[in-house]
Structure 1
Amino acid sequence: MTTALLISLVSCLLAINQAIIMHRCDVAKLLYKEDLHGFEGYPLSAWLCLAFVESKFNTSKIKENADGSFDYGIFQINSHYWCNDYLSHSENLCHTDCIELLNPDLLSTVNCVKKIMSGGGGLNNWIEWKLHCSGRPLSYWMTGCRLA
């Protein structure tokens, strides 16, 4: 357990030192490729708004919460419920290590997001979505982006 914790901490520090802030249209292409456009009724522009308000498109963002859990990646997925960070108790409902949610290919992130969405509540599962995206025009998030 101590070795796993040490490896996880070192990996997190390496990821922080190599912050990857993606361009909006590059995020759109990856999310489109992973079939998030229209997923659970949300257009790609909604997912872009969520990614921006949660992380400013920073795939390596890690934020500590008051309860001792951490939020990871472009969608700030919480370690208490969704991934295992070996730092705090986790239900690990996505069956993934939190460090995987920092990968700029977004594959593990999208798989976890789909699991989160399957529980109901839609994008309202994210407080930042409710505060900054819900009920607002979002089509401008796709301006200038070509998916092909």
Structure 2
Amino acid sequence: MKAVLLIPIVACFVVKVRSKIFSRWVCLAYFTSGFNTAAVTHNSDGSSEYGIFQINSRLWCSDHHSQTKDLCDLSCRGMGPCQKTDLLTDEIIDDILCLKRAVVGLEGLESWMAWRDHCHDRDLSHWVVACNL
């Protein structure tokens, strides 16, 4: 009987945690790219930032013109029909997976200026209120 009562309570916590994660990503996507999955920003150091989350080529993806560690093992931008996944398509699962990998580092989301300036330590619930999470 206790287990039956515990399941809805745990489910509420899971939904709340997912909402918090989604709101962080939605806020970041808005302030980095304006939700533009094809956004590209070129930096003075020769690296570029790609896609809806503006993932930097220096560490995370290969753009074939700057040095990279390609830690997400993906192309920043597609370079042909046989190209591995890239960050400039409307299919953003690869962007999300790479972002998740990037934020587990020491700085986490703090390495994104847009996060620091517009999202960090703010109530982000309004970003997902219409999602019914």
TM-score relative to the length of structure 2: 0.75
Residue 49 of structure 2 is aligned to residue 54 of structure 1: no
Structure 1 runs not aligned, ≥5 long: 1-36
1:114 alignment partner in structure 2: 100
1:28 alignment partner in structure 2: none
Structure with greater helix share of residues: 1
Q: How far is 1:125 from its partner?
A: 2.1
SS in structure 2 of the partner of residue 103 of structure 1 = coil
Structure of larger gyration radius: 2
Q: Which amino acid aligns with 1:97?
A: S
1:132 alignment partner in structure 2: 118
Query: 4+ residue stretches of structure 1 with deviation over 4 A?
Result: none
SS in structure 1 of the partner of residue 24 of structure 2 = helix
1:94 alignment partner in structure 2: 72
Q: Which amino acid aligns with 2:44?
A: A
Give the aligned CA root-mean-square deviation in angstroms.
Answer: 2.0
How many aligned residue pairs are there? 110
Structure 2 runs not aligned, ≥5 long: 1-15, 78-85
Between the aligned residues of both structures, percent identity stands at 41
